[in-house]
Structures are given as C-alpha cells and as structure tokens.
Structure 1
Amino acid sequence: MKKTTFIATCALAFTTLLSVNVTAQDFPELDKSPMDVAAFPTSYKDANKLVKITYSRPQLKDREVSKLAPMDKVWRVGANEAAEISFYKEIKLGKTTIKPGTYTFYLIPGEKEWTAIINADVNVWGSYFYNEANDVARLTVPVKKGDAVVEAFSIVFDENKENVNMHIGWGNTRLVVPFTK
C-alpha cells in the first residue's frame, strides 16, 4: 500500500511540475506577415531541391502595391526580414553564374520592368542596410498585370525547358524571374 501511495504521489508531482513548465511559456500572436517558403522542385516529396526562397507574406488590406513596394527603390521582397534565397547547385540569373549558397533577394519595382537582385548579404532586416557593392547578380524583367487580385504576396516556381521560373504576384502585379539550370 505504501509503495502504491508513493508512486501515485510521485506521478502527481511530476504531472504538476510538467504542466507548470508547459503553461509558463508565453507565445506571441500569429505574425501579420507570416513567413513562407517556395522551392523547386515544388513537391515536398522531392528533397533534391535546386532553389528555395524564404520570405514574409504581407497582405494588401486595401493598400496599393506601389505604396508597399515603392517604384525605383530597393524592396526587401515581402515584409520584415529581407527574403533569403538558397541555391543548392550552380544556376544562372541572366548571364551571371551564381554559386551554391544562401543570398538575399531584392527587387527594384519600375513601371514597365522590375530589377531582380541577388546579394551576398544575409540575415538582413528589410532593405535598410542594402549594399549594392555586395550584389552577385541583377536581371531586369518585364512586369505585367494579372486579371485576378492576389491579396497576400506570393512566390511560386515552375519549370520550362532549361529555366526554373520564379513567379511573383501581388495585387494585379505579376513578374517572372527566370533562372537557367
């Protein structure tokens, strides 16, 4: 009887201690611009990735893309931290070969074309500390208008022949950044 009481008392003490530790942690609310990842190949079943980008997904909420990503200014691509892009094999942006590694991805919005930038800096907040001297590659791509409105900033990849295309959409703005394998 004493052994059973002792075991029950220990179990109750352990359970109480465990529940105190678990409930003592404060968790923040969901971020207004949650982070997301887009990768190629797109299937989660394929672990042999070529490229992966981590970015935050701000929402328009009745605002205009041009106010959140101003024309002719370096934009962090999303919200919060600057987007980071990782390449797992050599790839080209335009005529520039990019070695495997992690980089920051920026855009400069324009009226008819946007400039895609791969920069050697990482772990950067916004575009406040952007340093053009650390650019690895740049490519100007045409911007188009889509029919449907994309409320939350979005990036997806697809493939055509020798290219892996990064599609970027927000509001009615659409652009494609082609990477050559």
Structure 2
Amino acid sequence: MKTLKWIGGILVALVLLFYFVGVPILREQTKKNSPEKMAHYEQDGLTLSVTFSSPSKKGRTIFGRLVPYGKVWRTGANEPTRFYTSTNLSVGGANLPAGTYSLWTVPGETQWTVIFNREVADWGVTLISGGKETTRNPESDVIQINVSPESMAEIVENFDISFVSADSDGALFLQFAWDTTRVRVPLN
C-alpha cells in the first residue's frame, strides 16, 4: 500500500512539474519560430483586435500542403487565433455578438470557410494527434461564412492578419495573407 501511494505521489509530482515548468518552456520555444502578433482597429466606437502566431513560409508550399485543403486550421500557429469585437458585428452578413472568439478556417482552392467559435482553447492542436487535429469544439461555433481566396503576385513570407479598408465606400475587411494567397472577410 505504501508503494502505491509513493508511486501515485511521484506521478502527481511529474504531472505538476510538466504543467508548471514544461508547458511554459514549450510555449516560449514555439514562439521563437512563430512569434505572437496583434492587429488592432478602432474607429467610431468600434474596437476590433486579433491575436495570432505568425509562422514563416521558409521555402515550403503552404496551402494544399503544409496547411491541407479541406481540414480545419487554427489560422496561424501555437494557440488558436483570438478575435475580439467590442460591439455586435456583421461578418459576411452573419451576426457576431460582442466578445472574444477563437478564429478557425478551412482553406480550399476556391473557397475558404471562416469560423468564429465561442471557446478559446489553450493550444490549437491536440498532442495525441501529433498536431494533425485541432482543439476546436464544433458545437461552440457561433458563425461560419464562406469567402473566396485571391492569388497575389508577391510572396508573403510570414503569415499575417490585418484589418484593411479596401473599397472607396470604406468597407472594412479582416485579411489573411500568406505565401501567394490572400483571403478577405467583410466586416460591417
């Protein structure tokens, strides 16, 4: 009985050591390769922000290869991308209540699905899957919209998310850009 308690105590100590020492070290190491970035927009009482980790292309084929078509992507690296809106917002015609969301995408050659989810997980992929499966809970999706990707002439080395006004009428877009692909999500 003493031996079982001793083994149990050691297992608990190892789990706590991993959680409080190992996990912070892993996060710090992964942020060296894919640094955390933030895009911010503020105008007329509307505040938007998006926090994401920015991986590099490093000569790799990105979409359809590193980021497979037809599979949910955490839209960056490390933790899932976080999107914040201070007020209710229309995203591609769908209502998104004020709050903080995790942002996921399903890239495709001719169409991307952009997903806003009310759960913000600690990490974007599961360790059990070796990084192939995301931590997204589909039951917590708030909205999903479809948008078309665009090809760009210039290569974007580091994954980027920004807020851009692209039209003369002042339309606002949430833009993803990496490699030679750009995706714009209309915001109102």
TM-score normalised by the shorter chain: which range applies? 0.7 to 0.9
Distance 2:102 2:151 in 1: 26
TM-score (normalizing by structure 2): 0.73
Structure 2 counterpart of 1:37: 38
Structure 2 counterpart of 1:173: 181
Matched, 1:68 2:76: no
TM-score (normalizing by structure 1): 0.76
Given that 1:93 and 1:138 are in contact with CA atoms closer than 8 Å, whether structure 2 keeps it comes out as no
Q: Specify the SS of the correspondent of 1:31.
A: helix
Matched, 1:140 2:146: yes
Which runs of no fewer than 5 residues in structure 1 stay unpaired? Answer: 1-25
Over 3 Å off, 4+ runs? 46-49, 160-163
The alignment of Structure 1 onto Structure 2 pairs a total of residues equal to 150
- CA RMSD between the two structures: 2.1
Larger Rg: 1
Structure 2 counterpart of 1:129: 135
Deviations 1:36-84 (A, max 9, x none): 001113xxxx795521000000001011112232100000011000100
Given that 1:84 and 1:103 are in contact with CA atoms closer than 8 Å, whether structure 2 keeps it comes out as yes
Which runs of no fewer than 5 residues in structure 2 stay unpaired? Answer: 1-24, 126-133
1:95 is displaced (CA, Å) by 3.0
> Structure 1 residues 102-111 or 124-133, which shifts more?
124-133
1:108 is displaced (CA, Å) by 0.3
1:162 is displaced (CA, Å) by 6.2
